[in-house]
Structure 1
Amino acid sequence: MPTVVIASPKGGAGKSTAAVLLGTELAHAGAAVTLLDCDPNRSLTLWAGRGPLPPRVAVLSDVDEAGIVRTIKRHDLDGQIVIVDLEGVASRLVSRAISQADLVITPMRATTLDATVGVRALQLIREEEEALDRRIPHAVVFTMTRAVRSRQHSGIEASLREQGVDLIEPPLMERTAFSALFEFGGNLRTMPAQGNMTAAIGNAESFAQAVYARLAEGGA
């Protein structure tokens, strides 16, 4: 079953939020999900410790460079989805995780700085593709976006599309509920209401469905 790697060398891009939303929504839909916390900030571990884990979700912490490939292969079982939350740097651990991916997702805020730094993740993927002599499916998801898109956002999006970058729709909006997951734990359906929960759940569901569709297309 598929391995999804969440990768960006830019801190604060929303990697851990994307990982938790994707994992909990896929689990809610019936999949068994293992989240690998490879970020020194241990955001997934913090989230997992805030409350009972949702059904069908497991979190593994302290996965290092030496063990990342072995850990992915050990949990890459029938009916299982592995989601890897990586550190915000270009490292050997990141490269090794990308080499095992069925899909790499790069979260990116719609700012010039985030786009400039985020593109480095795409370069890392290309380097791994050349080394492995195989295509590694990858896509960008905009994070912390607002209902009214700025001119900067539209320009960055247009530039990425012109370069042939796959953009996941919908983007992950700037929602109180998303950040509050790391305060309360659980998922969007079990945590105390924070803002417009119906809209937050709909956004997260649609994001997970878009990711799953890409995995299905790749035959993972």
Structure 2
Amino acid sequence: MPTIAIASPKGGAGKSTTAVILATELAHAGVPVTLLDCDPNRSVSLWASRGTLPERIEVIADVSESTIIKTIKQYDRDQHIVVVDLEGVASRLMSRAISQADLVITPMRATTLDATVGARTIRLIAEEEEALGRDIPLAIAFTMTKTIRSKQHSGIVASLKESGVDVIEPDLLERSAFSALFEFGGDLYSMPAQGNAVAARENAAKFTQAVLNRLMQGGENV
């Protein structure tokens, strides 16, 4: 059972949006998902309460620093994925979740500030790797981006890749359908169409496949 931690010490980077899109796309593809809402803002729980929860998704909200590892292990099932939406600060809860992760995804906007703050996650993972004696795969996911990349965006991506940091492609673009998930609940297939719904679904599906490819490269059975 792979565990994916969505982690960034910066609020507003798109963690909950990334978690919900990933969870709903996996469920739509037939993969059972447990979605752990560890963010005090409870955005995932808000999404879950707004509409009928998609089949094959279970949301767990009552997760703390003391219970995070036990909760992840509780849902250690074959052909099952746990997605953990973490709080927007570097905390002990974040460290404990990262220690159990098969993949850490750090969402960020294409700004110098987000890239600078996001680097803290890279350092945090390095500390956990040293303590655990194992590699913890990390990938950066750019969120709320434009179809055409700015020079700043391209420069940040190039800098990350030159430093050996994995960058998920495609980005999660700025789509009205993505933000509307938290208004209507459900998934991109069940909620009322928002903007270019077909393009949003295609973007979400390709992003999710890129994540799955990383899990399979890491030897995870998905």
TM-score exceeds 0.5 = yes
Equivalent positions of 1:1-220 (< 5 A) are: 1-220=1-220
Q: CA deviation at 1:79?
A: 1.6
Q: Deviations over 1:118-139 (max 9, x none)?
A: 1111111111000001000110
Q: Secondary structure at the match of 1:144?
A: strand
Q: Deviations over 1:36-60 (max 9, x none)?
A: 0000000000000001110100000
What TM-score comes out, normalization by structure 2 length? 0.98
Q: CA deviation at 1:219?
A: 1.3
User: How far apart, in 2, do the equivalents of 1:202 and 1:92 lie?
Assistant: 36
User: How far apart, in 1, do the equivalents of 2:154 and 2:51 lie?
Assistant: 38
Q: CA deviation at 1:80?
A: 1.0
Which structure 2 residue ranges, 5 or more long, are not aligned? Answer: none
Q: Deviations over 1:46-76 (max 9, x none)?
A: 0000011101000000200000000000002
Which structure 1 residue ranges, 5 or more long, are not aligned? Answer: none
User: How far apart, in 1, do the equivalents of 2:92 and 2:82 lie?
Assistant: 19
What TM-score comes out, normalization by structure 1 length? 0.99
User: How far apart, in 1, do the equivalents of 2:66 and 2:180 lie?
Assistant: 33
User: How far apart, in 2, do the equivalents of 1:128 and 1:137 lie?
Assistant: 11
User: How far apart, in 2, do the equivalents of 1:23 and 1:76 lie?
Assistant: 16
What is the letter of the counterpart of residue 90 of structure 1?
A
What is the letter of the counterpart of residue 217 of structure 2?
E
Q: Deviations over 1:72-112 (max 9, x none)?
A: 00002112100000000010000000000000000010001
User: How far apart, in 1, do the equivalents of 2:98 and 2:187 lie?
Assistant: 27
What is the letter of the counterpart of residue 30 of structure 1?
G
User: How far apart, in 1, do the equivalents of 2:206 and 2:42 lie?
Assistant: 26
Q: Percent identity?
A: 71
Q: CA RMSD in A?
A: 0.5
What is the letter of the counterpart of residue 39 of structure 1?
D
